[in-house]
Structure 1
Amino acid sequence: MNAIVEQLKSTAEATKATDLRAAFTADPQRFSRFSVSLDDLLMDYSKTAVNEEILKLLVKLAEEGGVEKKREEMFSGKAINFTEDRAVLHTALRNRSNTPVLVDGKDVMPDVNAVLAAMGKFADEIRSGTLKGATGKAITDVINIGIGGSDLGPVMATLALAPFHDGPRAHFVSNIDGAHIADILKLVQPETTLFIVASKTFTTVETMTNAQTARNFIAKALGEAAVQHHFAAVSTALDKVAAFGIDSTRVFGFWDWVGGRYSIWSAIGLPLMIAIGPENFGKFLDGAHAVDNHFRKAPITENLPMLLGLIGFYHRNVLGYPTRAILPYDQRLSRFPAYLQQLDMESNGKGVTIDGRPVEGNSGPVVWGEPGTNGQHAFYQLIHQGTSIIPAEFMIAANAFEPELRHQHQLLISNVLAQSEALMKGRTFDEAKKQLTDKGMDDKKADFIAPHRVFTGNRPSITFVYDKLTPYALGRLIALYEHRVFVEGVLFRINSFDQWGVELGKELATGLLPVVEGKQSAASHDSSTQGLVAALAKLAK
């Protein structure tokens, strides 16, 4: 595999001067040769530096890197998360074919289907008003309390699918900062509010701290006996859930083979299901399942997740680009970049290979972004003219949900197309100067000003086009990126499914709490930490 990477680097060096503008001029079929589709979902990667030679090498890289073998191991239930000895089976949660999926010889699908059915029943009862609060009033507001994967997925998807949201109002609390839950509680009434506490172990500090605040909110207003009517849990710690006061019929479990950042398909998706209904949640699963089938069956050169992962690896480990920008031209996807940030950076932000050695080259990039057109008025300046090359990934629906605002959607489309074209095409000095002199500027001043209006171009972008942001389309989009992360992780030779990097800070925070509370001395900590503790304590008095 290393030899192919070196070949790719040599090829990239030899084609460094390649002008994408010239490539499009020389090859009128470039778009059709470097774009692929899955039904209405189009992936255009023609505005990257990939050519036929590079594509062949990338296919060879996938083959020799064992991506297809590792893919089948994941789908078949092998414990590919070897540092925790766990299978990786978020795909089983949306296995709409219901074909058996074995973990340690046991088919997990009956359990998956049972939880999904229980979720659907509970969601229908809340949505219809059959299940009421302690005073007999219907639930009008649902507050999900979680953090990380127990929060980002439901937040992102509920916002994205706002046109399908016909259930109770949805709110989300994640931060341990008391301001977060305090601001949300001001929006709701205790007697019509349901809290969902999402924590597999029911010990997550942020989640359980907020859950206790929520419990106090209900108990103070309605009495201790009301707690069972206003709480549900997504957890496997039944004893802790019972001690909290939540009835066992309102507890929905999931499994060790579901990682937090891959858990939106599980009971963690309960707030989404309550918002959009079980039928639409099923369509959300259908979309993801369609991508799973495509990922397993399509040839590499026609396989969207494979190509996306291969190009991502090429950008990161061959060309050395340190970040990628996620730029959905859809305001309802405003949390999608943050969702992918966790998915990608928690999965592939590793420095050790599967055999315990330091990673050679780079592992995952920094992932960030904002919806268009907002980002155009913030950071696109750097993407277009900065000294770092930042691959951009655009997303746009052909159709919006507001036919009366069609003109605004057409403006949105024209903007995303213009941005991808501008990144590829750029503007030469001569073009910039002519633009200035055509406006009446004298030649000498135009020579001085024109360099500031030059765009180098040759900045890579990928554009995704789809019909409409439906539950099916969103499920498809998320699964596409999940598998992209998987492909890149295999090529980086890392374990994409653990997250030991989040542990050290948590351990230190536990030890620092008594210091912050003034119960212990800070003497055992470094001088910076001691100084910060002292400064905060002084200001807190």
Structure 2
Amino acid sequence: MPTSADAIWQSIAETPRPTLTQLFASDPDRLAMLSHRIAICGTDMLFDLSKTHLDAGLVELFGELAQTMHLAGMRDQFLSGAKINTSEDRASEHPAERGMGAADAVEQAAALHHRMAALVEAVDEGTFGEIKHILHIGIGGSALGPKLVIDALCRDSDRYDVAVVANVDGEALSEAVAKFDPAKTLVAIASKTFTTTETLMNANSAIEWLREGGVDDPFGQLVALTAAPDKAAEWGIDETRILPFAESVGGRYSVWSSIGFPVAMALGNEGFAAFRAGALAMDEHFATAPWERNMPVLAAFADLYYAQARGCQTRAVFAYDERLRLLPSYLQQLEMESNGKQVMRDGTALNRPSAPITWGGVGTDAQHAVFQLLHQGTHLVPVEFIAARLAAHEFDEAHHQALLTNCFAQGAALMQGKASEDPQRTYPGDRPSATILLDSVDPASLGALLAFYEHRTFANAMLLGINPFDQFGVELGKEIAKSMDDRQSGEFDPSTSALIEAAGL
């Protein structure tokens, strides 16, 4: 039996792989082994990985890798609030926002949630006057999470109109406020450090928009969501309207914290609590289920098999539900910012591929755009389908039936393929996919789904030996942009200097 991680990886790469149809034909228990339901707050989530090339032998090898890389111990440290983010010497405590972690972190998170809930109630009760619109300004995780959740769950909300702005391009802010009444708009400024250049630029422009719209005291309609409350107070926001969160909560994991304020405004406090409760249920599954039935870990096994043994450089995610159309964008940050690394936790070089490129779209639109490559192209791309058993709209149920039929048919076609005497009409098949089927898109199930992806990302990182909680790679571009603002153009290469001159900067 292999004993080192490198030896296990070699065994994984060299293990002969039958085709997917052969795997089904040779193992009548395959579906039972790789398809599992998880109960989440009174609803079910079905995870079907049987159309991947995992089998008992591969799962056993990955189990040995998990033991060698101390996955169980690292998971337990992470979920207990230990300083697992070694490069920054701090914990990563977003599970505490859901109720799992060190007792003091869970207690602090609960207190801050109570503070936020009180502010939501105050707005509901008219303390800020008549508020109809919420303008949420952030970037990265401070925007992607809230934007996804609001778009998925709040389309029919009669509470508040919510717009999320991230892009520093003024067109984004202009579009967001086009139908808002400044006198009835509450502006939430989301920045962990309260120094984020793009966010504060948009915030200053929003203040000017309020002022030009006749608001005498624009700062009276501002709320700050930050891990640096002192900076927000210095910036001019009243401390009673500052909603802090813990420094140990990373940006791309922060939707569970006060960064989720616009979600709580749109859903109501009960809805936001249900969202966190769904995530906690997935935390508990990740913490207790054995690897062979632990869905974040099994999914990571499949991810690593395709990236490491089959050379797959991308992974595609297709949401067969319009409400989840922003999920691929959310996952791009979660997976690529977390695991797009070139060194291991100890600083030594990572001698194998890290995270694949995450991309995707929404079904059935994508079928008429990119599925040609998936079925007949030369690239092997693992595909993930996400769908919901129940629709939310009131149109003919044939709409949802057609949606689900297309979703399931694509997975079957990718696996089965089709031979033809005409090579143009030949489908090679043996192309992997996984399917996640929710009962419905509701706060608890969406919370569980996002927590599933968080833990899957963590498991991938631990099995590779990297730290998923830092993101130093985003800093260099920011530093160069600042030097351009400071007019240090002489420091740049000829191409960049010419571009600066051509743009009139």
Q: TM-score, normalised by structure 2?
A: 0.95
Task: Return the match for 2:174 from 182, 194, 197.
Answer: 182
Matches of residues 124-523 of structure 1 in structure 2 within 5 Å? 124-126=121-123, 128-133=124-129, 138-162=130-154, 165-224=157-216, 226-429=217-420, 433=421, 450-515=422-487, 522-523=489-490
RMSD of the alignment, in Å?
1.5
Give the Cα–Cα distance (whole angstroms) in 1 for the partners of residues 68 and 229 of structure 2. Answer: 45
Is 280-289 or 241-250 further displaced after alignment?
Answer: 241-250
Asked whether the 8 Å contact 2:192–2:251 carries over to 1, the reply is no
Asked whether the 8 Å contact 2:226–2:259 carries over to 1, the reply is no
Asked whether the 8 Å contact 2:146–2:260 carries over to 1, the reply is yes
Is 149-158 or 29-38 further displaced after alignment?
Answer: 29-38
Give the Cα–Cα distance (whole angstroms) in 2 for the partners of residues 236 and 376 of structure 1. Answer: 42
| Cross-structure match for 1:443 | none
Amino acid at match of 1:161: L
Give the Cα–Cα distance (whole angstroms) in 2 for the partners of residues 114 and 456 of structure 1. Answer: 56
Task: Return the match for 1:117 from 114, 122, 125.
Answer: 114
1:377 deviation in Å?
1.1
Secondary structure of the residue that 1:405 maps to in structure 2?
A: coil
Secondary structure of the residue that 2:213 maps to in structure 1?
A: helix
| Cross-structure match for 1:81 | 85
> Per the alignment, do residues 333 and 153 of structure 1 end up closer, same or farther by CA in structure 2, a change over 3 Å counting?
same
Task: Return the match for 2:492 from 510, 513, 525.
Answer: 525
Give the Cα–Cα distance (whole angstroms) in 1 for the partners of residues 52 and 215 of structure 2. Answer: 61
| Cross-structure match for 1:8 | 12
CA deviations 1:282-319 (Å, max 9, x no partner) are 11011100011111111111111110111111111122
Asked whether the 8 Å contact 2:142–2:259 carries over to 1, the reply is yes
1:54 deviation in Å?
1.2
Amino acid at match of 2:128: K
Amino acid at match of 2:494: S
Asked whether the 8 Å contact 1:158–1:275 carries over to 2, the reply is yes
1:354 deviation in Å?
1.1
Q: Which is greater in Rg? A: 1
Task: Return the match for 2:45 from 41, 45, 64.
Answer: 41
Give the Cα–Cα distance (whole angstroms) in 2 for the partners of residues 62 and 165 of structure 1. Answer: 44
Secondary structure of the residue that 1:81 maps to in structure 2?
A: coil
| Cross-structure match for 1:535 | 502
Structure 1 unaligned spans of 5+: 434-449
1:402 deviation in Å?
2.4
> Per the alignment, do residues 164 and 284 of structure 1 end up closer, same or farther by CA in structure 2, a change over 3 Å counting?
farther
1:218 deviation in Å?
1.6
Asked whether the 8 Å contact 2:135–2:162 carries over to 1, the reply is yes
Give the Cα–Cα distance (whole angstroms) in 1 for the partners of residues 220 and 62 of structure 2. Answer: 55
Asked whether the 8 Å contact 2:383–2:433 carries over to 1, the reply is yes
Residues paired across the two proteins, number = 497
Give the Cα–Cα distance (whole angstroms) in 1 for the partners of residues 11 and 455 of structure 2. Answer: 25
1:125 deviation in Å?
2.6
| Cross-structure match for 1:437 | none
| Cross-structure match for 2:60 | 56
Give % identity. 39
1:365 deviation in Å?
0.6
1:118 deviation in Å?
1.3
